[in-house]
């Protein structure tokens, strides 16, 4: 598949306006836990139901949910963090070799969320990619999880279907070469339909990659998803895109959904890894149905 053309300056400006329009619907909060500040964006004002908390993927940010925020916050409060080490949040101290890199991230995430809504307050929790495994482990650690929704989750420990090599954009000698590498990676990993690789997707990917200081790939490949959802035992939605290159989605969804009560598997036809962007309307409908 040929790499799509890079956005023009006008297209990039319009993409930034779209991001700003959605961000303007939120209020920003910067609680601190053990010296780590985490930026949370709150959408919606409903206080009668548990808030929805969604965790972004690796090399991501709250903008991984840009096409979902309005629909999901229409009747519920929606909380979107930049996880520690990503975008507008503080970086974490580097862990020693052999230590679990997720532990300090989970501590900062949990401490700052509890500062916002109170310890033990029930939530509905979701996550995408690296954020899926993070959400599952966060749910085990925090408790008070009503429902769990995972999209293209990392940590499954099964076969990946990557056929196109990623390009190290950080090694690019100039900005245009860097932008070309980022565009290549967007198509190689994140999105299946070339039409979905639009200026908005590129702007989100570009901004989020530049804000990433946490090494998530090793965590996502380390496994642990099944053990976490087995431990939880809460109603769980397992959703993948048909062409997600990070997993063989249909057998994986069938396997995970069959291994415990209250689990539901969904494969979105025609979608790649970043399923909630590429097929936003379908994913929004699935989440609203599942989360009630």
Question: In the predicted model, is pLDDT for residue 126 greater than 90?
Answer: yes
Q: How confident is the model at residue 196 (pLDDT cuts 50, 70, 90)?
A: very high
What pLDDT shows up at residue 220? 60
Mean pLDDT of 260-282: 97
What pLDDT shows up at residue 21? 98
How far are the Cα atoms of 9, 80, 170, 191, 271 from residue 198, in angstroms, in the given order?
Answer: 13, 23, 22, 10, 15
Cα torsion 280, 285, 133, 142: sign: positive
Q: Do 109 and 56 contact (CB within 8 A), yes or no?
A: no
How big, in percent rounded to 5, are the helix, strand and coil portions of the chain?
Answer: 40, 15, 40
Give the Cα separation of 146 and 167 in Å (integer).
39
What is the DSSP secondary structure assignment for residue 212, as one 8-state letter?
Answer: B
Q: Do 219 and 59 contact (CB within 8 A), yes or no?
A: no
Task: Give 216-268 pLDDT, tens digit per residue.
Answer: 777 766 778 999 999 999 999 999 999 999 999 999 999 999 998 999 999 99
Question: In the predicted model, is pLDDT for residue 147 greater than 90?
Answer: yes
Q: Which of 24-28, 68-72, 75-79, 154-158 has the lowest mean pLDDT?
A: 154-158
Q: Which phi and psi (to 5°) does residue 212 adopt? A: -90, 125
Give the Cα separation of 127 and 232 in Å (integer).
15
What's the chain's length in residues? 292
Q: How confident is the model at residue 2 (pLDDT cuts 50, 70, 90)?
A: low
What pLDDT shows up at residue 211? 97
Question: In the predicted model, is pLDDT for residue 87 greater than 80?
Answer: yes
Q: Which of 92-96, 139-143, 227-231, 254-258 has the lowest mean pLDDT?
A: 92-96
State the average pLDDT for the chain.
94
Q: Do 129 and 153 contact (CB within 8 A), yes or no?
A: yes
């Amino acid at each position: 598949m040929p790499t799509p053309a890079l956005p023009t300056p006008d297209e990039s400006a319009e993409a930034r306006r779209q991001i700003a329009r959605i961000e303007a619907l939120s209020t920003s909060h910067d609680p601190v836990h053990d010296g780590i500040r985490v930026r949370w964006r709150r959408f919606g004002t409903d206080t009668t139901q548990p808030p929805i908390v969604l965790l972004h993927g690796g090399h991501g940010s709250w903008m991984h949910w840009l096409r979902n925020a309005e629909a999901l916050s229409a009747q519920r409060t929606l909380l979107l963090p930049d996880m520690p080490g990503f975008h507008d949040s503080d970086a974490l101290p580097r862990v020693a070799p052999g230590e679990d890199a997720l532990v300090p991230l989970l501590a900062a995430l949990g401490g700052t969320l509890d500062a916002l809504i109170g310890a033990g307050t029930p939530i509905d929790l979701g996550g995408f990619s690296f954020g899926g495994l993070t959400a599952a482990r966060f749910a085990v650690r925090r408790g008070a999880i009503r429902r769990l929704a995972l999209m293209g989750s990392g940590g499954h420990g099964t076969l990946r279907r990557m056929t196109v090599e990623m390009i190290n954009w950080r090694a690019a000698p100039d900005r245009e070469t860097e932008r070309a590498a980022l565009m290549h990676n967007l198509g190689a990993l994140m999105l299946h339909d070339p039409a979905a690789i639009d200026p908005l997707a590129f702007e989100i990917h570009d901004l989020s990659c530049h804000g990433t200081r946490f090494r998530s790939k090793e965590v996502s490949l380390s496994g642990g998803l099944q053990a976490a959802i087995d431990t939880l035992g809460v109603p769980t939605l397992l959703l993948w895109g048909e062409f997600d290159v990070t997993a063989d989605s249909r057998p994986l969804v069938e396997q995970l959904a069959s291994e415990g009560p209250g689990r539901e598997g969904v494969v979105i036809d025609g979608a790649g890894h970043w399923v909630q962007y590429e097929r936003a309307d379908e994913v929004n409908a699935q989440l609203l149905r599942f989360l009630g």
